[in-house]
Structure 1
Amino acid sequence: MSAVFNFTFVPWFRSVAPYIHKFRHQTFVVGLTGEAIAAGKLQATVQDLAMIQAMGVKIVLVHGFRPQVNEQLRAKGHAARYSHGMRITDPVALDCAQEAAGQLRYEIEAAFSQGLPNTPMAGARVRVISGNFLTARPVGIIDGVDFLHTGQVRKVDIEGIHRTLASDAMVLISPFGFSPTGEAFNLAMEEVATRVAIELKADKLLFLTEQPGLRVRPLEPAADDNPIDTELPLAAARQLLAQLPPPQQPTDAGFYLQHCVRACEHGVERSHILPFATDGALLLEIYVHDGFGTMVVDEKLEELREATIDDVGGIIQLIEPFERDGTLVKRSRTEIERDISSYTIIEHDGVIFGCAALHPYPEARTAEMAAVTVSPHSQGTGDGEKLLKRIEQRARALGMTSLFVLTTRTMHWFLKRGFSPVDHSWLPEARKRKYNWDRKSQILVKKL
């Protein structure tokens, strides 16, 4: 085995470990579009889901069958009909939907049953259980259009799903529901996955779709070469949805976004739009910090907070590389433990990606913002802005009228955010005595 492989694999595997620990015992609802299956992505998706489950995640898989039903309709010489973004399910379309659902369920269960040597499924023992977990009701007549056998979710058998997940099985749900009288209704995969995620209080809702993700801000190639927004606060997602025309088909920008927003509004912490065209999109989104698709996150789930003694190790791990290259002054563990109440941190999925400390000088009504650090993996995502805003809030609450920083390499970042350079003589006397002339740090001040 080459040394180069060792060099790349070991740090990568260690970087993945926090996410494995974070997501163990959590519940994910995955919406797999029929388009993904038609594009030949079922086998790779099944392999990835099996690995995710092996790492302790409870999975509910909801499959779609839109193109498969249309194919059945074409074979019978019957046209597919849509209105208001939903299929009109006449008796012929209902038969086609039942045939497509049965065939796809067979294919999915067969894929999870494989255990071929030299594949990711080798040694896997994935039990897949499906059943009548959904009770449905008819959509009815909307604007004069009778949707016939098209339905909406009336009730989800959450207790049954919980029992199945507790037995270490994966739950498979087809977009079909039945009324209390036994009548079958064709449902939308997106609505089923969203409703199940909400009622299950799932930790994530993930859609594998035709869309690569969404972009809110105009693309500025010089500063940002990512064609999508990897993270959308719920408020921004709502605003974007309001600006878009009502979605009618899966390729419309708001088609999956509307379901992600609804899920977050009803308690699902994070919802994701991922491109099935990219191999391993689920793994990239779940186990890599930057993610791969667009994630809608409820901004009430604030990851910015004051540090506790339990955060000392994470802070040290974050700032050590910057101390080694001279960006930050070396701080001992004892110093950090002593001043831990001064620190504000920002974390993602249980990993600290940014920190800053506030050291007040009440006699001069000013405070120093020190140890300002943002992980290279998180730079450019706004974490630095969030830290600065929180430190400013803390300083104002203490009655400070200004905030200052000492920096050797990040002067322009602070200048763009309202700081101005001053001479070292401006410093409070207590801080002036600790000024390190060897570093020749620049002093920048912002009025609060």
Structure 2
Amino acid sequence: MNVSDLREILQYVPRFRERVFVIAIDGEVAASDNFPNILLDLAVLRSLSIKVVLVHGAAHQITELAAARGVKLSNADGTGVTDTATLQVSIDAAIRLTNEIMEGLSAVDLRAAYINAMIAHPAGILGGVDQQYTGRVERVDVKALKLLLDEGICPIIPPLGFDGEGRTFRVNSDAAAVEVAEELGASKIIYLAPHSAFAGEGLPRQVSVAETNDLLKRRKDDLAPSIWSKLDCAARACVQGVLRVHVLDGSVNEALLTEIFSHEGFGTMVYSNEYQQIRRIFKKDVRAVMSLIRQSVKNEELVRRTRTEITEKIEDYWLLEVDRTPVACVALHVYPEDASGELACLYVSKTHENQGYGRKLMAFVENIAREKGLKRIFALSTQAVHYLQQKGGFVEVAPERLPAVRRIKYETSGRNSRVLEKIFSA
């Protein structure tokens, strides 16, 4: 990890401190070679005062134990019929895995406790078929969970629910995570899915609830069941008040931390809303702007700017934020002697491309320029000429159209940029 990585992480810490994250781990992920790394990631979250509730699945362990015992399962993941034999195997496999997780958390110096926090009732008869010992979560023992969290203890919740008569029911862990998160007012649910479920899925990085539901309809037949279940639960969780749900490949080291503590993220995020704002930058934002455009400068798409240069013209720069995270920037440099302005430093992060942010910033700059009484705006570009023409309505012109002061700078830069102009109608 380099210094810039640490700085990027630190900007998220105040936002997430004392918030509750529900981490939902697939049983296959818990059996993978990467699971010890995930436990270390959980220790990092706790060290940053993030409260973690761990909900785990056990279909993988149930299937293996059933094969070892010669038991024919009626269903493994808690979405179908659970007969008596399957229930017994499910209890044994789930509790064994819970104990293994507790041992792993102890090894990374985290206190953990198994808790029967899910009160369940029978799923009943669905489609004319008695689901027997398959259950649905009726409510969550929030008080008990909060007592543990307030003491710095990580609650571990297996895919089992209990009713008031002492009966045990097999519940689906994906759905259980939704109920736990809703009851606790969690900020996030993070689903860690097995690597095998991601083969060829081509999932988007960010999707709204509406887009997720559309995706589920369009790809009902080709999405892996594990991914379909998690996306379906993610959309439902967002509707029920959880702001963000993430679906990650649990086999990848540091995927959890990368998704939480970086602009780029790693997996697929389902969101219930998206808070956007365009605002002026402050001195504290200069570093964020330089970090945002660093790669574009390296690729010679944007001209190199020093911290001093940005600070001296700080009132010219604007940031577009999504959920308080800078994802795009732009500048408007005014030339009053020519009644013109330069649209400059237009950049949208790779993770937020093709979402209309570039056009939004161009329209924003145009409105500001009009308010200032400018007659036109111009832009210099080496690699985005077609974009500016097609999306912004710019027309290529000769360098002689530049204001005298700007033309001198243009001629001495050696970039040989092409000049584009947009004249405002009266």
Say whether the fold is shared (TM-score over 0.5).
yes
CA-CA distance at 1:79 after TM superposition:
1.7
Return 5+ residue gaps in structure 1 as ranges.
1-7, 115-120, 217-226
Select the residue among 249, 255, 258 that pairs with 1:275: 249
User: Paired residues, what number?
Assistant: 409
1:229 to 2:204 alignment: yes
Give the distance between the partners of 2:376 and 2:243, measured in 1 at CA. 34
For the Cα contact (< 8 Å) 1:354–1:384, is it kept in 2? Answer: no
CA distance in 2, matches of 1:346, 1:42: 37
1:44 and 2:19 correspond? no
Residue matched to 2:414: none
Q: Is the 8 A contact 1:304 1:386 kept in 2?
A: no
Q: Deviations over 1:268-322 (max 9, x none)?
A: 2221111122233223322343222222233x32244223647644565447858
CA positional deviation for 1:157: 2.1
2:123 pairs, out of 113, 131, 139, with 139
The 3-state SS of whatever aligns with 1:153 is strand
Describe the superposition over 1:89-148 as per-residue Cα deviations: whole angstroms up to 9, x where unpaired.
11222222221222112111111122xxxxxx3xx3x11123232111211111111101
Q: How big is the shift at 1:228? A: 4.6
1:171 positional shift: 1.4
Corresponding residue for residue 386 of structure 1: 357
Deviation, 1:363, is 12
The Cα of 1:384 is off from its aligned counterpart by: 8.3
- Write 1 or 2 for the structure with the bigger share of helix: 2
Is structure 2 residue 311 aligned with structure 1 residue 333?
Answer: yes
1:404 to 2:374 alignment: no
Matches within 5 A, 1:298-377: 298=272, 300-307=273-280, 309=282, 312-314=285-287, 317-318=290-291, 327=303, 331-336=309-314, 338-339=315-316, 343-347=317-321, 350-358=324-332, 368-374=342-348
How much has 1:444 moved relative to structure 2?
A: 2.0
Question: So what's the TM-score if we normalise by structure 1?
Answer: 0.78
**Are 1:87 and 1:150, in contact at CA under 8 Å, matched by a contact in 2?**
yes
Q: Which residue of 1 aligns with 2:231?
A: 257
Q: Give 1:129's match in structure 2, choosing from 95, 113, 118.
A: 113
Task: Note if 1:435 corresponds to 2:406.
Answer: yes
Query: Compared with structure 1, are the counterparts of its residues 288 and 369 closer, same or farther at alpha carbon in structure 2 (3 Å cutoff)?
Result: same
CA contact (8 A) 1:198 1:266 kept: yes
> How far 1:446 sits from its partner (Å)?
5.0
Equivalent residue, structure 1, for 2:64: 71
What CA distance in whole angstroms lies between the structure 2 residues aligned with 1:153 and 1:295? 25
* Uncovered stretches (5+) of structure 2, i.e. residues with no partner: 412-416
Could you say which residue in structure 2 is the equivalent of 1:31? Answer: 24
Cα pair 2:59 2:76 within 8 Å, conserved: no
SS at match of 1:50: helix
How does 1:230-245 map onto structure 2 within 5 Å? 230-245=205-220
**Could you tell me how far apart the structure 1 residues matched to 2:34 and 2:326 are?**
35
SS of residue in 1 equivalent to 2:183: helix
Equivalent in 133, 143, 165 of residue 159 of structure 1: 143
Report if aligned partners of 1:247, 1:255 keep a CA contact under 8 Å in 2. Answer: no
| Residue 121 of structure 2 corresponds to residue 170 of structure 1 | no
Query: Is the 1:346–1:353 Cα contact (8 Å) retained in structure 2?
Result: yes
Partner of residue 183, structure 1: 167
RMSD over aligned Cα atoms = 3.7
State the alpha-carbon separation in 2 of the partners of residues 146 and 69 from structure 1: 21
Matched, 1:295 2:269: yes
State the distance in 2 between where 1:351 and 1:383 align.
Answer: 17
Judge conservation of contact 2:321–2:327 (CA < 8 Å) in 1.
yes
